[in-house]
Amino acid sequence: MSDRTNRIGRHLPTSGGLKKTLATIEALGCETVQIFVSNPQGWADPTPRTDAEVFVRGTTEAGIWPVVAHAKYLINLAPPDADHRERSAGALARELVAAGAIGAHLVVVHSGSHGGDGEEAGMTRLVEGLDRARELAAGYAETSDRVAEPVIENSVGAGTQLCSTFDSLSEAARRAGVRACVDTAHAYAAGYDLSTPESAQEAGDELRAAMGDSVALIHLNDARNEMGGHRDGHRRIGEGQIPRESWPGFFAALPGVPVVMETPYGTPEVDADQVRLVKELAGGLPLAPDGV
């Protein structure tokens, strides 16, 4: 009998069309999935997908949940420049609507940087920016009720980045009335020790204590760089700084939280092996009968 309650998946490309993405989801054994709904490196708005309803129907029939989109990397809701904040809020709003149109439940957005004005000023602007994005999204969506939920992601704490600690991420989420996505490589680079089974479970317990049920998603990534170095970088699970043996304790502290890998692509066999490995580390290949 499996004890696994965490749904496991990974980020997938959509360049071959959403029907191809559906086939990859099935081939890899994903139970959740993350995609981009626009070019993450540019400001251009998402374009409507002619295959949106195919994707909605396919993910629903396959029981894929949650479907996640990752927002543009250019979005920063917290800088001093008001024009950049407004552009970012508008871009996030468009992504919330575009994600909803393909049946996505969540849009992960980086918590951003305060640009030298200090964490409190940046936090206030981040909260205001999330409110503004949701306000704009409601207008853009018009009569549609399919608008995705924004979730903010922790940072590595480099320079003026916000929300590198679980407590600050929790504060931002609480003040904005949103949930959060926790990236394990970011947490490790920010100084959370995941290097042993005991310390990984302690980190998971600390996260649960800080955020409770407001953790919507885990970005499960092994770390390329050293603990506490504030440098981002992802590796496949078991190929970076975090031993495989650390993960079961981390999962034990976070039952039911869905998991998406953002690790480097390999061959289809390698990618499927990674999904299978994480399922085993999380408690077993099948979901528990009462799994979330």
Q: For residue 124, give the nearest of 165, 77, 81, 159 by alpha carbon.
A: 77
Per-residue pLDDT band for 142 (boundaries 50, 70, 90) equals confident
The percentage of the chain sitting over the pLDDT mark of 90, rounded to a whole number, equals 95
Give the integer Cα–Cα distance in Å for 23 and 20: 5
59 phi and psi, to 5 degrees?
-70, -35
Handedness of CA 13, 14, 19, 20 (dihedral sign): negative
**What pLDDT, in 10s, does the model give residues 235-266?**
999 999 999 999 999 999 999 999 999 999 99
**pLDDT for the residue numbered 290:** 67
**pLDDT for the residue numbered 144:** 73
* Size of the chain, expressed as the number of residues it contains: 292
Q: Is the pLDDT of residue 291 over 70?
A: no
Give the integer Cα–Cα distance in Å for 192 and 185: 9
- The secondary structure of residue 241, as a DSSP letter, is S
Q: How many CB atoms lie within 10 A of CB 23?
A: 13
The contacts of residue 40 (CB under 8 Å, 6+ apart) are 70, 71, 72, 73, 74
Q: Is the pLDDT of residue 1 over 80?
A: no
- Tokens 């490790």 belong to 188
Helix, strand, coil abundance in the chain, percent, nearest 5: 40, 15, 45
**Helical ranges in 142-242 per DSSP H:** 166-176, 184-190, 197-211
- Tokens 């704490």 belong to 157
Per-residue pLDDT band for 172 (boundaries 50, 70, 90) equals very high
Which token pair is 104?
A: 């996505």
Per-residue pLDDT band for 292 (boundaries 50, 70, 90) equals low
**pLDDT for the residue numbered 136:** 97
Region 274-288: what's the mean pLDDT? 97
**What pLDDT, in 10s, does the model give residues 53-108?**
999 999 999 999 999 999 999 999 999 999 999 999 999 999 999 999 999 999 99
**What pLDDT, in 10s, does the model give residues 34-50?**
999 999 999 999 999 99
Domain 8-281 = CATH 3.30.710.10: no
Give the integer Cα–Cα distance in Å for 139 and 209: 36
Bridge-based pairing state of the strands 222-223 and 234-235? antiparallel
**Looking at the whole model, is its pTM more than 0.75?**
yes
Per-residue pLDDT band for 188 (boundaries 50, 70, 90) equals very high
